[in-house]
Each structure stands twice: as C-alpha cells, then as structure tokens.
Amino acid sequence: MNSPVPPPPPLYLANPKSTNSQIKTDEEAPQPSSYVYDEAGIDEVQVKITCLPEWRSEQLSEETSTWLSVYTPVTAILQNGPQCGIVALCMASQLLCPQALTPDIVFEIAKSHKFTTYGEMFSVKNMCKLASILMDCEAIQLPNGLDDSETVFKHLDDGCPILVPYDKDESTAPCCRNGNKAHWAVVLGYLLPNVPPSIVSTLNQDKCFSNLYHKPKSVDLSSELTSHIQHNRSSVYVYAKQGKSKHLGVWSYQDLILSNNNLMEWQADKNELNEKDMVLPDGGIKEGLSGQIVLLKQK
C-alpha cells in the first residue's frame, strides 16, 4: 500500500494585498531583523487565526487589515470530573507561581475550606479566596465583569490571567443556555483586527503573516487601544483555555460577555455526581457566577 502523501509546509503570505497569487514558503520568505519577540505560543496563534471566518474572508478578498495579537501561553490541563474551575486556576498558576499548582492539591485545599464537594466551584468569591490561599497573588473580583473592557484589556496587556465562568456549548465555546452548562476558562490574551496604524511601529511583525503583529512585553498599549476596543467590541476575540480540551480557544469577546452574564441556573448532567451534595452559594449561580470574573496578578 502506498504511503500517504505528507502535508504541505506552512504557507507564508508575503503580501496579502498583492494580486499575485504566488505564495512563498518560510524558507523563501525574507526574515526582517525586526523579528525579536518571545515565540512561545506564536504557533498556537498562527494555527487558530486561520480558522476564523473573518480572517479567511480577508485573505480571499485580499482586503486585509492589520491584526494585533496579545497572548501569554500556558500548558493545557485536562479536568477529571467537575473540576473545570480548579483546572483553570492551575493553568493560571503557571504565570503566577515558581511551581505551578496541581489539580489534586487544589481540590484538597478547596474541599478542606468547604468551597467544593467534588471539584465544582460555583462562587467567584470563593474562587478569589482559594487563589489567595494557594498563591502569593492578588485575586480581584471585578464588579462589572467583562463589561469593564478597559480594566480587562489592561490586565491582559500586562500578561496576567483572568478566570471567567461561562456557558459552554458542545465545542466548549461560549453560548447562552441560562447557565445549564456552566464552565470555567482562563483567558490569556486577545486578538484585535483593524488596529490603528499609529501603533504598528511599536509591534513585532509575525514571521508567517505580514498583516499579523504581536505586542512586545515591554510595550503598554492600553491607553492607545481603550477607545478603539470599546467602539469595536463586537470584532474583538479573546484567547482562552479550559479543562475539556488541550487546544487554544479563540472566542468572540462579545459572545463571552453574553455567556458570562447569562449564568442564572445550573443543571447537573445525568452522569454527574449527586447534585444535592454540591456547594452552591445562596442565590445559586446567578449570585455566585453571573456577570463576574476573577483577575489574578502577582503582588
């Protein structure tokens, strides 16, 4: 039997606005001296961005905009049982602790403080307490949640993680099911199309896509982008990881806001453990999770 044909090498879009259909490979493409940035996580971004309908549409029409990527990567951890919040906290700890937390340790500590029975975390307030107990960090319950985009994007610009409860669909992306599929993710950055030309000179161009730029750690863009993000919130994406997949999620920021705000009631899956034993705050998940997020940063 003939061996399968190997996949082609990655493509380099030398000039997305050019009408010339010839595409160069990485080896043929010029490598500008400005490529000086931390490449951790860049490959994840390059794979995921090509799956976005907006990005693909631009490439086909050859009317490309300038995209900004801000991403602080972590290693994915898969959950065992209803431990999505615990796993999200463990992934966030990779950015905050000399030695990252493990789900088993976090579960035992959470259980000893009566925050959980089986690993479930239905309270942002308790999640803040748990993070403060386990890590020498600040855990901030943001009153206005993701609607406070100025605080959210400044936090992500600084390379700090955010824990976000949301409703997940079958693909683990945000949806609105009234909280029946409540889940936790750690948000690690954002992706923004149509960035103002005035900031491009402060960014590092991607090696594979000439209209994709990455923010150096030393550059603070929050003041320049605050107004732009607020007026274009529907076109902003966020990077997230959660305990049901090893892959990076690239989600609509607006969809995540709606999902976070719609957490009103929770319903256990048929195969889950005894719902009566789970730790739910007074007022249920509407009181404990809806419209709330956790900002984590070093003291």
What residues are labeled active site? 84
Strand-strand pairing, 67-71 and 212-214:
parallel
Contact 12, 50 (CB under 8 A): no
Strand-strand pairing, 293-298 and 137-142:
antiparallel
Place of tokens 């889950």: 272
Contact 125, 288 (CB under 8 A): yes
CA–CA–CA angle 143, 148, 154 (5° rounding) = 115
Strand-strand pairing, 182-192 and 204-205:
unpaired
Q: What is the DSSP string of 166-223?
A: EEE-TTS-EE-STTTTEEEEEEEEEEESS--GGGGGGSEE-SSBTTEEE--TT---HH
Residues 6+ apart with CB under 8 A from 154: 222
Rounded CA-CA distance 280/211 in Å is 47
Q: What is the DSSP string of 47-112?
A: HHHTT-HHHHHHHHHT----EEEEE--------SSS-HHHHHHHHHHTTT-SS---HHHHHHHHHH
For the chain, the farthest-separated pair of C-alpha atoms sits apart, in whole angstroms, at 64
Cβ–Cβ contacts within 10 Å for residue 21, how many? 6
